[in-house]
Structure 1
Amino acid sequence: MENRQADMDVFNRLESEVRSYCRSFQTVFTIANNARIWDKSGKEYIDFFAGAGALNYGHNNRRIRAKLIEYLQADGVTHSLDMATEAKETFLTRFKSFILEPRKLDYKVMFPGPTGTNSVESALKIARKATGRTNVICFTNAFHGMSLGSLAATGNAFKRKGAGVMLGGTTFMPYDRYFGPQIDTAAMMEKMLDDPGSGIDLPAAVLLETLQGEGGLNEASTEWLRRVECICRDRGILLIVDDVQMGCGRTGTFFSFEEAGINPDVVCLSKSIGGYGLPMALTLIKPAFDVWQPGEHNGTFRGNNLGFVAANEALDYWRTPELELAIASNARLMFGFLHRMASAYPQAIEEVRGKGMIQGLVFREPANAARLSKAAFKQGVILETSGPKDEVAKFMPPLTIEENVLKLGLAKIESALRELFDPVKLAGTAEARL
């Protein structure tokens, strides 16, 4: 333990107090490969966090790395603002051919800046500009980013408090099943939009995640998503889907909304669209709403050509069904394991949530999710928490994780759960309290 604290000394002394993940994972990491990462002492960890969804194709993906090295050694352009480059041209054509056309989607591609919050900010701006309206409807437990516009659409009180100013321009509505399965929150939203006495201004857009990652793995039903889309269409409201964390295959398909069969007006992508963990973001806009004036929204690093190169290779995973089939297989494995754990420890675990390769355990006592994360780390697994009370232990390994590594990671999690919640140990703890 003393060695670990010594390793963290530089970060504790010199880095801002705002740092967070390094407080949970007290070690200095050095090398990584796919779903495994090693620290300075040589200890191996299995990564069930995947850069918060930025590493869907794993750490140091060999196929992507080879293309990056080739591009760098050939003196390829790295920074270009929004000037035309060969790397960007290749990305645009491949994205259209491999992703949009097979799904019968028609979007103009905007490069808003390197992060997810840049994409959300640009989506909010274009919706307001295209409609001439200012209000945006968002949802309870949403997370859309940490800059002021996206933070105004984020539900988490702790994160909102960090803004230091009043956050406005948004109206929060209850997400699907927020009040339980018996209450139709889409019907509630429709009623309030149509009631001239509700106090709700007709919005420019409705902004949502189909599955709320940071909000606790709350999944919207297909019926609810379709109903919301119809509400938007009937009233000239733009539908924005934030697919920053759930896109690029995390839920099983490239876009998280494919299963529901909806067709958003604007889509936000970031994180794994950069292929290699490189900063990159897209805002996809239906052509009718692409009403920007040149330079009206810009950013110095929106032309990240290394991101284009990595993304170009990553898109190859979507030319065949192999990755989707692997995601489905791993998702079933995770689903079975998590439900087995929920059955084994019903006194601690309330339910299982999520889909695809983002699933989690909801703990009756919120603090137990962090306890599991800590115990898992000791076992050699990186596992984060989410939810308004951090009550969900969130499993999101790289999509490319080898099956044997996934099984080993799950076995380590089972050991951590046994250590924390074994009935004999729990009984002993209860007796000690008496």
Structure 2
Amino acid sequence: MTITQPDLSVFTTLESEVRSYCRSWPTVFARAQGSRIHDEDGHEYLDFFAGAGSLNYGHNNPVLKRALLDYLEHDGITHALDMSTTAKRTFLEFFQHTILRPRDLPYKVMFPGPTGTNAVEAALKLARKVKGRETVVSFTNAFHGMSLGALAVTGNAFKRAGAGVPLVHTTRMPFDHYMDDGTSDFRWFEQQLADRGSGLDQPAAVIVETIQGEGGVNVARPQWLRTLATLCQEHDMLLIVDDIQMGCGRTGSFFSFEEAGITPDIVTVSKSISGYGLPMSLCLFRPELDIWEPGEHNGTFRGNNPAFVTAAAAINAYWTDDELKQQILAHAQTIEAALRDTAAHHSGSGYRGRGMIWGLELSDPRHAGRAARRAFEFGLLVETSGAQGEVLKLLPPLTITADELDHGLRIMQRAVHETT
């Protein structure tokens, strides 16, 4: 693809240096539909980024767009803080009857604010309030958000350094496979909990991702998650699952922890819960944990009614049967086969993932970045992850067609091969 240099002057002169994704994809995007996004010069790109997992149902999904336009055309409430609205009622009813009840999940629903980090902050705050303790355990290579509480339970040194203040009241434990496989799961954690001389204050909670997306697509085994859930129960710690990127079908089931057969005490959900890329997040928790006082944790934009509309439409369109789940599982086999073939041609590389979140780890940490840049030149948006950016991360929309998926995977393979 021949790309003429776009005029980026207003962005480079006026917008903060903190901008990042636009540096990887130096063009000006203008419109998008489904799995494809177009820049203002008419170039088309397949999107294997999907808004960092916020567009599981693709760009401008027509079913969700129609519901949103109908709502706006009839002057539906846009902003309402936490007031009761018809849009919120419809979402809660769909969420309860289609998502929670069929999975026998007892959760209360809290709208803590518009972003994932808002949900994480609410979860941490609630866990400490319930247990009356300060310490929260998190894991190596975790990512939970960019506000201070979420950064404290995040592992990435670069992001943590941006806090500017000490990040306290947390302790880190090794994630699944972080140590060599000969090390017993949770041996160090259990020893610290049992030993009164370990210096570990009794934790209020443990927060974990079932698959660490930003950390390098590190997949926790179901047995590892079950053992963690048991450990939390035995030591009076709440289990928080951060399902912000891996929820809403990314791994196949609606919640990523379903495969492990566990029921976390608290779950954070965001990104694709609105279905349309609109800001929205949830903090879900067992009813007995709902000890909030009215207004004790609030936020001006916790009532995004257009997001309630598209979220309800997404649930109704995609989660009343198993059609989407079966498509995800079929796509997963296609992705895995392509990554297996790619890894076989590059010594020292490996791949891992589940559902429609996959990573290709390359032996040279710089290789993934080169491949991502080359893929952009070929018309594919794909990002990197991991502590050194060593993993090429595949995050296509769940609704991508088989032909689009095949085409994108061929571009990915070519980009990897040409940038060795």
TM-score range, shorter chain: over 0.9
How far is the alpha carbon of 1:416 from its aligned partner? 1.5
Q: Is the 8 A contact 1:34 1:401 kept in 2?
A: yes
1:336 corresponds to: 337
SS at match of 2:46: strand
State the Cα RMSD in Å: 1.2
How far is the alpha carbon of 1:344 from its aligned partner? 1.9
2:10 corresponds to: 10
Residues of 2 paired with 1:152 and 1:97: CA distance?
A: 35
Residues of 2 paired with 1:284 and 1:353: CA distance?
A: 28
**Within 5 Å, which residues of 2 pair with 1:116-195?**
116-195=116-195
How far is the alpha carbon of 1:4 from its aligned partner? 5.0
Residues of 2 paired with 1:391 and 1:27: CA distance?
A: 24
Partner AA of 1:18 in structure 2: V
**Within 5 Å, which residues of 2 pair with 1:280-359?**
280-316=280-316, 317-346=318-347, 350-359=349-358
How far is the alpha carbon of 1:182 from its aligned partner? 1.3
1:114 corresponds to: 114
**Within 5 Å, which residues of 2 pair with 1:79-94?**
79-94=79-94
Residues of 1 paired with 2:2 and 2:334: CA distance?
A: 38
Residues of 1 paired with 2:269 and 2:156: CA distance?
A: 21
Runs of 4+ in 1 over 6 A off after TM superposition: none
Partner AA of 1:408 in structure 2: H
How far is the alpha carbon of 1:222 from its aligned partner? 1.1
Residues of 1 paired with 2:52 and 2:314: CA distance?
A: 18
Residues of 2 paired with 1:269 and 1:212: CA distance?
A: 15
Q: Is the 8 A contact 1:112 1:118 kept in 2?
A: yes
2:398 corresponds to: 399
Cα distance per residue 1:316-347 (max 9 Å; x no partner): 2010100000000111100000001001222x
1:205 corresponds to: 205
Identity %: 56
Q: Is the 8 A contact 1:352 1:361 kept in 2?
A: yes
1:429 corresponds to: none
**Within 5 Å, which residues of 2 pair with 1:260-275?**
260-275=260-275
Cα distance per residue 1:14-70 (max 9 Å; x no partner): 100000000000000001011100111111100000000000000000000000000
Q: Is the 8 A contact 2:376 2:382 kept in 1?
A: yes
Partner AA of 2:290 in structure 1: D
SS at match of 1:7: coil
Residues of 2 paired with 1:205 and 1:192: CA distance?
A: 15
How far is the alpha carbon of 1:290 from its aligned partner? 0.7
How far is the alpha carbon of 1:2 from its aligned partner? 12
Residues of 2 paired with 1:246 and 1:112: CA distance?
A: 19
Residues of 2 paired with 1:122 and 1:183: CA distance?
A: 34
Residues of 1 paired with 2:136 and 2:303: CA distance?
A: 29
- Name the TM-score, length of structure 1 as normaliser: 0.95
How far is the alpha carbon of 1:418 from its aligned partner? 2.8
Q: Is the 8 A contact 2:368 2:416 kept in 1?
A: no
Q: Is the 8 A contact 2:33 2:59 kept in 1?
A: yes
- Name the TM-score, length of structure 2 as normaliser: 0.98
Residues of 1 paired with 2:164 and 2:176: CA distance?
A: 30
How far is the alpha carbon of 1:223 from its aligned partner? 1.2
Partner AA of 2:341 in structure 1: R
How far is the alpha carbon of 1:303 from its aligned partner? 0.2
Residues of 2 paired with 1:5 and 1:412: CA distance?
A: 22
1:61 corresponds to: 61
Cα distance per residue 1:138-160 (max 9 Å; x no partner): 00000000000000000000000
Closer, same or farther in 2 for the Cα pair 1:96/1:4, shift >3 Å?
Answer: same
**Within 5 Å, which residues of 2 pair with 1:213-228?**
213-228=213-228
Cα distance per residue 1:345-391 (max 9 Å; x no partner): 22xx5210111101011011100010000010000000000001110
Q: Is the 8 A contact 1:4 1:26 kept in 2?
A: no
1:360 corresponds to: 359
2:371 corresponds to: 372
SS at match of 1:259: helix
Q: Is the 8 A contact 2:6 2:28 kept in 1?
A: no
Residues of 1 paired with 2:341 and 2:276: CA distance?
A: 33
1:98 corresponds to: 98
Q: Unmatched 5+ residue regions in structure 1?
A: 422-434
SS at match of 2:419: helix
2:24 corresponds to: 24
Residues of 2 paired with 1:356 and 1:164: CA distance?
A: 37
Residues of 1 paired with 2:4 and 2:19: CA distance?
A: 17
Residues of 1 paired with 2:151 and 2:45: CA distance?
A: 33
Q: Is the 8 A contact 1:175 1:185 kept in 2?
A: no
Q: Is the 8 A contact 1:176 1:221 kept in 2?
A: yes
Residues of 2 paired with 1:386 and 1:180: CA distance?
A: 21
Cα distance per residue 1:66-116 (max 9 Å; x no partner): 000000000000100000000000111110100001111000000000000
1:196 corresponds to: 196
